Amino acid sequence: MDFLVLFLFYLASVVIGLVLICVCSKTHSLKGLARGGAQIFCCVIPECLQRAMHRLLHYLFHTRNHTFIVLHLVLQGMVYTEYTWEVFGYCQELEFSLYYLLLPYLLLLVNLFSFTLTCVTNPGIITKANELLFLHVYEFDEVMFPKNVRCSTCDLRKPARSKHCSVCNWCVHRFDHHCVWVNNCIGAWNIRYFLIYLLTLTASAATVAIVSTTFLIHLVVMSDLYQETYVDDLGHLHVMDTVFLIQYLFLTFPRIVFMLGFVVVLSFLLGGYLCFALYLAATNQTTNEWYKGDWAWCQRCPLVARPPSAEPQVHRNIHSHGLRSNLQEIFLPAFPCHGRKKQE
C-alpha cells in the first residue's frame, strides 16, 4: 500500500511538471526547445505511439474535459488523507495547538469553494446580445487591440482585451488564459475567484509542509536522534548527519516524508506562479497581454531580424490606473450583472 501511494505521488509530480512545461513552452524562448525535444522523440518513438500521444495531448490540452479536475481532487484528497491519518494524529499526541493543526482544513474549505466558483462561473463570454456592452468597457490602444476587428471564428466585433479561446471556442471579455485545472477560461468575471483559489491552494500546501516539518523536527529533538551514531558498511563509526537522518525518517515515516517533499515542491511552484499572477493584477495586465507585450518587446530588440522598412509599434499599458483601481477592477468587474441578464 505504501508503494502504491508513493507511486501515485510520483506520477502526479511528473504530470504537474509536464503541465508546467507545456505552459512555459508558450513563451517564445522555450518554443524552440520544445520543438527540438519533440524532434528527438520522433526519432526514437514509433509512429503509432506518436499518433496516440498526439491524440492524448490534444484531448488533454486542446479540448474541454474534466481530467485535470479529477486529478486535482485526487491529489488534494491524497495529501489531506495522509495529513489526517498520520500527521494530525501524531501531532495531537505531541500536544500541538489544535488551531495550528486545523488551519489546513480551513484553507481547504475556502480553496474548494473558490475552486468550484472558478469552474462554474461564466468568465465573460461575448455573444451577440452583450457584444455592444463590452465594446465600451475598455479603450482600444490601436496596437495590441485595434478597433473594428472581428473574430474570424465567432464573427463578432472584438472588444479591447478580449480573445477567442481555441479550447472553449468562444470569445472572452478581458481574457487571461485557459486553465486546464478548472476546465474553464479565466476572464473578467472569474479572475477574482481564480486568485483566491490560487492563494489558498499555495497557502494550504505551505501550511501542510510547515506542520509536517515541525512534527519531524520535534520528533528528532525529543528522541535525540541528532546525537546518535551509526556504523557504515565498512564498520566505521559516524556521528548522525543530515543525509542519514533523512534516510532514517524516510524508512520510519515513508509516506509523511514523501508527502512533505511533494507539498514543498508544490509550494514553490505555486508560490512562483502566485507572485506572477499578483504582479499582473497589480499592474492591470492579463497573461495574454503580458505574452503579447513580451513578443512586442522582442520585436524591438536589435538582435531580432525583421524587414528594414518595418517600424515596430510601441505597446503601452493604458489600463493601469494605480494599485487600488487595478484591484478594484478585478474584484468588482465592470457590468457583470447586466451582462449576464443580456446573455440570458
Catalytic positions, written as ranges:
179
**Which DSSP helix (H) or strand (E) runs through 201?**
helix 191-223
Residue 224 has, within 13 A of its CA and on its CB side, a CA count of 3
1 in Cβ contact with 82 (< 8 Å): no
| CA triple 109-273-265, angle to 5 deg | 75
Q: Would you call 143 helix, strand, or coil by DSSP?
A: coil
Q: How far apart are CA 23 and CA 21, in angstroms?
A: 5
Q: Would you call 163 helix, strand, or coil by DSSP?
A: strand
Backbone angles phi, psi at 150, to 5 degrees: -105, 145
Closest by Cα among 321, 309, 331, 285 to 144: 285
Closest by Cα among 122, 106, 132, 126 to 182: 122
273 in Cβ contact with 197 (< 8 Å): no
- CB count in 10 Å sphere of residue 212: 25
Non-local (6+) Cβ contacts of 47 within 8 A are: none
N- to C-terminal Cα distance for the chain?
Answer: 51
Closest by Cα among 123, 111, 112 to 176: 123
- CB count in 10 Å sphere of residue 260: 23
